[in-house]
Amino acid sequence: MDLSIVIPLYNEEESLPELLSWIKKSIQSQQWAYEVIMVDDGSNDNSWNTIVELKNSYPEIVGIKLRRNYGKSAALNKAFEQAQGDVVITMDADLQDSPEEIPELYQMIMRDGFDLVSGWKKERHDPVSKTIPTKLYNWATRVMSGIKLHDMNCGLKAYKHEVVKSVEVYGEMHRYIPVLAKIQGFEKIGEKVVQHQARKHGVTKFGLNRFSRGPLDLLTISFIGRFGKRPMHFFGSTGMLFTIIGVLLLTVLTVQKVIYKVGGIASRPMFFLGMLLIIVGIQLFIAGFLAEMISRNNPKRNEYSIAETI
């Protein structure tokens, strides 16, 4: 199969019929075998019935209904497991992303050889309460990940088949799929300026909590990406550093007391700092040993992303 179009959705009944006909119109001139995977994430409106009905006129639909609302990441992960296309394109269901971008995104993967191409809503039609925090967030992610994308969390993205099969998305990690892909070794990441429209029906589904959860997920991703298979290298090295500095500080104090007969050592800030560093350092070692014991039992510990074998 050439193409899988993946659409995660939550309460978007009004948008779906127009979305499907727009997709069809945008790609019918291509001779592609394709599927449209729609994941209804426990919507409490009529979205699922609408999908079932649409299936009669659009046999390319693959519908998945999750029993409750698990979040966009979970929906994407389910769809990625299912996707058969050589190219997988994700898009939002709310008609804000234009399906007319699909042919060019497809070519950027197949012809230009990108592993992942992210849309860039250069001209956005969203309220400022959304656009300003997003700029900040994109800057932070660029700095932390070293990936030069302007619009990390654009819903419209294209992937090579292997990419969606090797990233695992949960929590709020759909915001960072390019980072996850890079950790797996997919480094040819491109960007395409895409059209963006204002929301026609319904309301946005992401409130303020995206600003607290997102950064935490970014921390998790960068930690697991770097140290997930060798946690002791992180905990052990920081633990060792802390302990050594602590021991040095206390040694200085001991020398002062024993050789130079300096009094009142136990009330000096350096004394408390030295003790604190030793205690925290040892705790970090313990955390490291525990993490190693846990990851030993992880069947994925020795799983690596293989590009090719002959």
Binding marks (x or -) toward Mg ion, 217..246, rule CB under 5 A?
------------------------------
Q: How far is the CB of 72 from Mg ion (least distance, A)?
A: 11
Choose, by CB under 5 A, the member of 13, 40, 94, 115 that binds Mg ion: 94
Of residues 147 through 206, those in contact with ligand GDP by CB under 6 A are 155, 204-206
CB 196 within 8 Å of CB 101: no
Binding segment for ligand GDP among 91-99, 220-228, 272-280, 287-295 (CB under 6 A)?
91-99
Instruction: Please report which residue ranges of 28-168 form alpha helices under DSSP H.
Output: 47-57, 72-82, 102-110, 128-145, 161-166
Q: How far is the CB of 205 from ligand GDP (least distance, A)?
A: 3
**Separation CA 253–CA 238 (nearest Å):** 23
Binding segment for ligand GDP among 52-60, 68-76, 266-274, 281-289 (CB under 6 A)?
68-76
The residue among 94 and 162 lying less far from ligand GDP, judged by its C-beta, is 94
Q: How far is the CB of 272 from Mg ion (least distance, A)?
A: 52
Q: Is 5 helix (H, G, I), strand (E, B) or coil?
A: strand
Residue 85 interacts with ligand GDP (CB under 6 A)?
A: no
Angle at 75 between CA 70 and CA 76, to 5 degrees: 140
Q: How far is the CB of 167 from ligand GDP (least distance, A)?
A: 17
The residue among 155 and 178 lying less far from ligand GDP, judged by its C-beta, is 155
User: Dmax of the chain from CA atoms?
Assistant: 92
Quick one: which of 48, 47, 68, 14 has its CA closest to 202? 14
Residue 217 interacts with ligand GDP (CB under 6 A)?
A: no
Q: Which residues contact 259 (CB under 8 A, 6 or more apart)?
A: none
**Separation CA 247–CA 253 (nearest Å):** 10
Find which of ligand GDP, Mg ion, none residue 178 binds, CB within 5 to 8 Å per kind. Answer: none
Choose, by CB under 6 A, the member of 35, 92, 172, 217 that binds ligand GDP: 92
Residue 97 interacts with Mg ion (CB under 5 A)?
A: no
The residue among 151 and 162 lying less far from ligand GDP, judged by its C-beta, is 151
* DSSP at 229: T
The residue among 10 and 120 lying less far from ligand GDP, judged by its C-beta, is 10
Which residues are 87's β-sheet partners? 3, 160
Q: Indicate if the alpha-carbon torsion angle 169, 173, 175, 180 is positive or negative.
A: negative
Q: Which residues contact 190 (CB under 8 A, 6 or more apart)?
A: 108, 112, 114, 116, 117, 118
Site for Mg ion, rule CB under 5 A: 94, 96
Residues that bind ligand GDP (CB under 6 A): 8-10, 12, 39, 41, 69, 71-72, 75, 92-94, 96, 155, 204-206
